[in-house]
Chain A
């Protein structure tokens, strides 16, 4: 039973599978269904994205899970239990609900907003306060913002509070309806990345609705592409949808730039990076020149690193004329990439920085290798690229 999963203070452990079994929604006497016999299973702990054009029924399908839209025929099961058997209000207290306009209560503080569902469930005060503080930290907000009111927060901050509010009672399923839709693109990307990072930690079952195929590919472990009339055109992993669209509708919806989109599924670490000759501060330049001279060198410029092998910049000819390696490099570092970066973002950074080479570091900031546009295009053409991408659990975070 769902409530048992919530006994531990601050636990983020519970997640249930969601199964649609021929779920149908008809309005009035209409013979045309808004959602037509939807049948699919979302495994526990995965993000399933419902994507499709306006009016395809994706939002309706999502809202049937917590019965904000009543089911006409068929059923939906959460953790094996039918949602139709339960009292609607009580059901909703166990399902996180995030909507596009957020809907924070203007007359309550941020902390009170987040504490809304725990209060409905009758949690004790200390437990609620602890959980609220934990969540404020989890969503990356300053603790003192807890006493502010929604009107005092930016759009992006409000959106985060909306997510925190949905997570407060540790639900087994999260429903998110275009949660990042009303935000500017920069904040949106940041929020997406943060949510993915969050998901990697807490692993909820998430039903995510969007009309943006790129967002679907980025966020989803599985994607359900829906067409008008509430039917599923294809339900598969992002890789399958990109490489193997089920029909013309899916193909059109995904767009002509499928190859480019596939870059969104890979991490920089999926590729064999090139190596640049490393130069340490104070090292005799003769040694560096010697490294450069070796025939196997892939990158013709030495990379200046500190004692921890953290990149500081690129060395030029002029730098190498000195006796020892200077502490200040001639050329700035340029774009700096992370091993775990999504390939598409990495390519964008490279092109943006107008750099030929970009240093790639690991989580501690230590040099891992060098990426260039050439490497990427070589890789895309190679047979390895056509293999299965990484699975759901190892979502990259950026």
Chain B
């Protein structure tokens, strides 16, 4: 162990990380000649944009599919107050799914391509959405729901006008969780034939060390941007009344 540490420190001293970062930034913006696979051109802003869009596309499709499947079920169960065990188990099981195995297995099972991969990613996104939808709706103040029902709102109106607005924080926590999981797994989509930013990372042979670092930086930035965007959206959608401190 000690020698390895020494080796790392030695490598650091000889090759300060800054050089790699510089190289990574270069990689992002200007196409490089890859010295590994014999003179092919890799990198550059065009390829970066192409792969970023690819990853975004995959993420958005998968998230949309997850929402369409998970939300109705979660909202309905939460409103009725039944199926708590189901929602909990789904949530826990979803967390236990190994991402790599899922992608590979789904690709093997239903084939490669954006559409099929979308389904695989949706499997990851559904559990947090469903569980959080259930919990969020179920935990809304019972008195407010009772009052809403007593004043003559239909069940659907209660869900729409009272339960969902009050459950926004929890609902969004689920959406953010799902998005992070989907984006993270979309990063390794290249192993199933759909090229995303993860290709830079996975295919070190083609893109070189700079490409790998560039890929890592880009993926991190993408994830953080999405998270930040969702957080802002959540802030805007949360009613002022919920953010107040009691008088």
Contacts and interface: CB of A to CB of B under 8 A. Distances in A.
Contact of A106 (B148, B152, B242, B245): B242
Contacts of A89: 152-154
Interface string B29-49: 000000000000000000000
Closest 8 CB pairs of A and B: A103-B147, A93-B152, A97-B150, A107-B239, A103-B143, A92-B152, A149-B241, A101-B143
Q: Mostly helix, strand, loop or mixed at chain B's interface?
A: helix
30 contacts: A68-B149, A92-B149, A97-B151, A103-B143, A103-B145, A103-B146, A103-B147, A105-B147, A105-B148, A105-B162, A106-B166, A106-B241, A106-B242, A107-B166, A108-B241, A116-B148, A116-B151, A117-B151, A117-B152, A120-B151, A120-B152, A120-B157, A149-B240, A149-B241, A151-B246, A152-B247, A153-B247, A162-B147, A165-B151, A175-B150
Interface residues of A, number: 32
B50 interface: no
Contacts of B241: 105-109, 149-151
A68 B144 CA distance: 14
A73 B240 CA distance: 45
A83 to B, nearest CB: 13
B153 A99 contact: no
Given A99-B146, A105-B162, A108-B241, 15 more contacts: A89-B152, A92-B149, A99-B150, A101-B143, A103-B147, A105-B147, A105-B148, A106-B241, A106-B242, A107-B166, A120-B152, A149-B244, A151-B244, A153-B247, A162-B147
A95 to B, nearest CB: 8
Contacts, number: 82
B165 interface: yes
Interface in A137-156: 149-154
Contact of B244 (A66, A99, A152): A152
A376 interface: no
A151 B247 contact: yes
B171 to A, nearest CB: 13
Interface string A270-282: 0000000000000
B174 to A, nearest CB: 19
A246 interface: no
B192 to A, nearest CB: 43
B237 to A, nearest CB: 11
A304 interface: no
B52 to A, nearest CB: 37
A165 B96 CA distance: 48
Interface string B176-194: 0000000000000000000
Contact of A66 (B145, B150, B239, B245): B150
Interface in B121-142: 141
Interface of A: 66, 68, 89-94, 97, 99, 101-109, 116-117, 120, 149-154, 162, 165-166, 175
Contacts of B153: 89, 120
Nearest to A97: B150
A357 to B, nearest CB: 42
Interface in B151-165: 151-154, 157, 162, 165
Contacts of A108: 239, 241
B151 A93 contact: yes
A322 to B, nearest CB: 52
A151 to B, nearest CB: 5
Contacts of A91: 152
Nearest to A119: B161
Given A152-B244, A153-B247, A103 B141 contact: yes
A359 B157 CA distance: 56
B168 to A, nearest CB: 9
